[in-house]
Amino acid sequence: MIDLGILGYAEAFEVQKQYVVEVQAGARQDALLLVQHPAVLTLGASFHAENLLHPAEWYAEQGIEICPTDRGGDVTFHGPGQLVAYPIFDVAKRGKDLHLWMRQLEESVIRALATEGLQAGRLDVNSGVWVNQRKVCAIGIKLKRWVSMHGIAVNCNIDLEPFGWFVPCGIRTHGVTSISRELGKEVAVEEFKPKLIAGFREVFDA
């Protein structure tokens, strides 16, 4: 596990790429990068422009950067109070199954949320992890020669207002939530972090 602290999205992307190269070459074992990003909207490979509800200049005035990226999915938001995990794993050694990989990532979060007393699960509407029909964790990944990059974003005590300024993941029928909102108490990233790490250890036996 490598804790990157608070790091810009573009800077973290460069770190990911370096780790991917090293894992591909066999020079590094699987690594789990943990980070919080300053406010940023990331646009995935399936991004649709109509899911941004304001001009780019408006988001800039709110202090929100916009970054195109090569992960799967549409548009999502990262900001303080959200725990982002980038597993740089050799998926070829873990079944070489993209569908299984996505379900394992979800299961890691589901188990971590269970330790908070939250009953989380999946919905057919979209990948990710949901509580009470609201998304608490978004997932967007990419595999490069079967080594994974990008990953998951768990809303701990993030400000949920910005999620109303765009269409999260392109889904208009379901909302977004956080651990803090669902529990009715503040749950910070640092509090949830060891629980997410434990969830990964259980699912991936690592």
Which tokens in the block code for residue 125? 């509407």
Q: What is the mean pLDDT of the chain?
A: 97
Q: What is the pLDDT of residue 31?
A: 96
| Whole-number pLDDT of residue 68 | 96
Q: Which residue has the higher pLDDT, 205 or 55?
A: 55
In terms of C-beta density within 10 A (0-12 exposed, 13-18 middle, 19 or more buried), how is residue 121 classed? exposed
Decide if pLDDT at 206 tops 80: no
SS3 content of the chain, % helix, strand, coil (to 5): 35, 30, 35
**Which residues are annotated as catalytic?**
169
Specify the pLDDT at position 125: 86
Judged against a pLDDT cut of 90, whether residue 6 lies above it is answered with yes
Q: Is residue 30 helix, strand or coil? A: coil
Alpha-carbon dihedral angle through residues 195, 197, 198, 204, given to the nearest 10 degrees: 150
Domains, in order of start, for the chain: 2-204 (3.30.930.10)
Query: What are the pLDDT digits (tens) for 164-193?
Result: 999 999 999 999 999 999 999 999 999 999
Q: What is the pLDDT of residue 205?
A: 85
Residue 26: per-residue pLDDT: 95
Answer yes or no: pTM beyond 0.75: yes
Beta carbons of 88 and 31 less than 8 angstroms apart:
yes
pLDDT at 180: 98
Beta bridge partners of 33: 2, 86
Model confidence band, residue 204 (pLDDT cutoffs 50, 70, 90): very high
Q: Which of 74, 69, 71, 67 is nearest to 38 (CA)?
A: 67
pLDDT 10s digits, 126-175: 999 999 999 999 999 999 999 999 999 999 999 999 999 999 999 999 99
pLDDT at res. 122: 97
